[in-house]
Structure 1
Amino acid sequence: MGDRGRVVTEGREEGTDVGGFVGIDVSKEHLDWAVHGEAADARLAHDEDGLQELVRRLNELRPALVVLEATGGLEMAVLAALSVAGLPVAVVNPLQIRNFARATGRQAKTDRLDARCIAHFAAAVQPPLTPMPEATTIELELMLARRRQLTGMLVAEKNRLSGLIGPRKVARVVASIERVIKTIEKELEKLDDELKTKIEQSPVWRAKDELLRSVPGVGPGTSRTLLLDLPELGTLSRQQIAALVGVAPFNRDSGKAKGRRAIWGGRASVRSMLYMASVTAVRCNPVIRAFYDRLRAAGKPYKVAMTACMHKLLTILNAMAKAARPWQAAA
């Protein structure tokens, strides 16, 4: 039966009956869940009581597989609770669910309909199980998510400040924005120190962090993002990891028309950080710099050349992580 048989039986005692395929739509307030092939669905509050009730009901059902969407960290508590209970659970990219919904003709969208679609996806695709994250990983992921929120707030406040010109530049408003900016910057600095300490306290994470940061152009921010938002680094082929991040160009041809190849989808947080790392690498990394210069000399536009550098840098990092060798050996 291959992977399908493994998904159905893993995590259960041999010979016990298992139920159907469950899809859970996780939102900030609610947990909507459905079983594939059954008309009924259910909604629980996304709190401690709701999680305990969800685990109780799923333990009674004994599902073959439970599938969640990756929702920017909201799913982590659910994943941990189900994994601790010994339930077979998989977390998948929301883009996969959206593409599956379109392919199966689903147009309407509500949380409960999403849960049914995820359950259908679970039964049809049966994705591999997601191992339970260690406590350090969960904490680091949530801390990094908070850092992204603070960074977004800082950018927004700085944009507001730069927009105050002429008669709009009221002293009290400027002072208010400047106070908020200083507060956010202090909080970011504190969070960065905590992230650094947390990584240094874990020998495994410290080794991974040092390995990635051995590459010229890869700083602590890029390393942390790769470690937490791209745990597949070093486990996939270069084609797979590029497609996962969203730096693999796809053809856009139809009939005789030949469109420009373009990148799309993938993990935006990783791609954004990888771009900033590539900008730095073009200046200080001899391999990436030479690659960039060859592309520009060949007449490639800046964006095309930078996307290619992102792809190359990611390929190097993936190979290093797979071989567990630092930059000097990989270069």
Structure 2
Amino acid sequence: MQFFIGIDVSKDKLDLGWLRDLTSNKKKTKVFKNHSAELTRVSDWILKNTKSGPQDILVTVEPTGVYHEALLYHLHECGFQVFLPNAALVKAFMQSLGTVHKTDKSDAIILARYGAQKPDRQLWQPEAPEIRELKAMMRRLDALEKDHQRELNRLEASEITGTSERVLQSLKDMIAVLEQEIRNLQQDIDDHIDRHPPLRNNRQLLQSITGVGPGVSREMVSMLTAKAFRSAKQAANYVGVIPRIQESGKFIGCSRLSKEGPARLRAKLYMAAIVAKQHNPLIKQHYERLLANGKNKMQAIGAAMRKLVHLCYGVVKNQEKFQLQPL
């Protein structure tokens, strides 16, 4: 017999929902603090109430930034079956149930029900330590780059408004510090990749694609190594470069990027696509064909970004360098 648990995750707490009976919808809930010291209590509560071994219990966990990660590793180490679903699919499932009242407790039960009705679910597996380290450094780099851009914006505004020299100097000093730390962290990331042959090899494969430079290759190494994508389309969907049709009134057949997933990667892919449409013959041909077919420049750039993701997925999956086929 299999038991189904759902856990709604927030920064401060974990809402557990045990779906005791799929037919009658009998349930039991419990709330714990989202703190490392509480995780043992979480697993003990599940085992005590279900009176079963962890191998017979499926725990469906809501993905929430980084706040679910410690919980996932703890549950996996205890021997539970762990399912980390796509948040968008869970949302669609909730809407299909016609849920009126939305609470953390009800979300936990719905997560349990979603896990129960997904026979083709792919159980979560922990990442290798080098992947976790790479992801942590990439998150920190993203934060530093955002801080850097904010300080640049403040400096520009201050120069326009004629603020005091002391404030201007403070901004310039902070920008210099951030730029140095960004360079240091980028070097540490590159060194980390070089120390691990699979990461180093994937980066070399990615950089064989014209248009994929250091920034994009760092991001794609992290993403493609950490995520078990089943297809290039799935990878592109994760990045948010899949076209989404928008039609309303006179606007017929208008498509825009879905823009789901990591914005920082899309920003880097945008610049890579600008380069690739000029210097990568395959991307250039794809871009010009779309323009000739009536697409506007932004739609063609979006398609170039998507093509780059497909190429990146292909070289890593096949473990072969990019080779331009005769046009």
TM-score bin (small chain): 0.7 to 0.9
The answer to which of 72-81 and 307-316 deviates more is: 72-81
**Would you say the 8 A contact 1:70–1:94 is kept in 2?**
yes
**Would you say the 8 A contact 1:73–1:142 is kept in 2?**
no
CA distance in structure 1 between the partners assigned to 2:7 and 2:156 by the alignment = 43
The answer to whether structure 1 residue 27 and structure 2 residue 10 are counterparts is yes
Give the structure 2 partner of residue 124 of structure 1: 117
**Would you say the 8 A contact 1:73–1:145 is kept in 2?**
no
Structure 1 residue 152, shift from structure 2 partner: 1.3
Give the structure 2 partner of residue 13 of structure 1: none
- Give, as a single letter, the amino acid of the residue that structure 1 aligns with 2:261: R
Give the structure 2 partner of residue 55 of structure 1: 43
Alignment length (residue pairs): 314
The answer to whether structure 1 residue 264 and structure 2 residue 258 are counterparts is yes
Give the structure 1 partner of residue 295 of structure 2: 300
Check 1:233–1:35 CA distance in 2 against 1; reply closer, same or farther (3 A cut). closer
Q: Residues 227-238 of structure 1: matches in 2 within 5 Å?
A: 227-231=221-225, 235-238=229-232
CA distance in structure 2 between the partners assigned to 1:42 and 1:265 by the alignment = 35
Task: State the Cα deviation string for residues 69-127 of structure 1 (Å, max 9, x = none).
Answer: 33233322222222222211122222222222222223544433332332222223353
Give the structure 2 partner of residue 318 of structure 1: 313
Structure 1 residue 48, shift from structure 2 partner: 1.9
**Would you say the 8 A contact 2:236–2:309 is kept in 1?**
yes
Match of 2:213 among 215, 219, 222: 219
Moved over 6 A (4+): 254-257
- Give, as a single letter, the amino acid of the residue that structure 1 aligns with 2:9: V
The answer to which of 207-216 and 125-134 deviates more is: 125-134
RMSD over equivalenced CA pairs, Å: 2.8
Q: Residues 63-102 of structure 1: matches in 2 within 5 Å?
A: 64-102=57-95
Task: State the Cα deviation string for residues 157-201 of structure 1 (Å, max 9, x = none).
Answer: 111111124544222222222222222222222221221122111
Instruction: Provide the TM-score with structure 1 as the length reference.
Output: 0.83
Check 1:296–1:251 CA distance in 2 against 1; reply closer, same or farther (3 A cut). closer
Q: Residues 199-218 of structure 1: matches in 2 within 5 Å?
A: 199-218=193-212
**Would you say the 8 A contact 2:63–2:87 is kept in 1?**
yes
CA distance in structure 2 between the partners assigned to 1:109 and 1:330 by the alignment = 53
**Would you say the 8 A contact 1:234–1:322 is kept in 2?**
no
Q: Percent identity?
A: 30
CA distance in structure 2 between the partners assigned to 1:286 and 1:259 by the alignment = 28
**Would you say the 8 A contact 2:83–2:122 is kept in 1?**
yes
What SS does structure 2 have at the residue aligned with 1:92? Answer: coil
**Would you say the 8 A contact 1:100–1:121 is kept in 2?**
yes
The answer to whether structure 1 residue 249 and structure 2 residue 237 are counterparts is no
Structure 1 residue 243, shift from structure 2 partner: 2.9
**Would you say the 8 A contact 2:8–2:14 is kept in 1?**
yes
Give the structure 2 partner of residue 42 of structure 1: 30
- Give, as a single letter, the amino acid of the residue that structure 2 aligns with 1:247: V
Give the structure 1 partner of residue 22 of structure 2: none
**Would you say the 8 A contact 2:159–2:168 is kept in 1?**
no
- Give, as a single letter, the amino acid of the residue that structure 2 aligns with 1:72: G
Give the structure 1 partner of residue 181 of structure 2: 187
Instruction: Provide the TM-score with structure 2 as the length reference.
Output: 0.84
Check 1:145–1:71 CA distance in 2 against 1; reply closer, same or farther (3 A cut). farther
The answer to which of 188-197 and 256-265 deviates more is: 256-265
- Give, as a single letter, the amino acid of the residue that structure 2 aligns with 1:181: I
Check 1:254–1:53 CA distance in 2 against 1; reply closer, same or farther (3 A cut). same
What SS does structure 1 have at the residue aligned with 2:125? Answer: coil
The answer to which of 303-312 and 63-72 deviates more is: 63-72
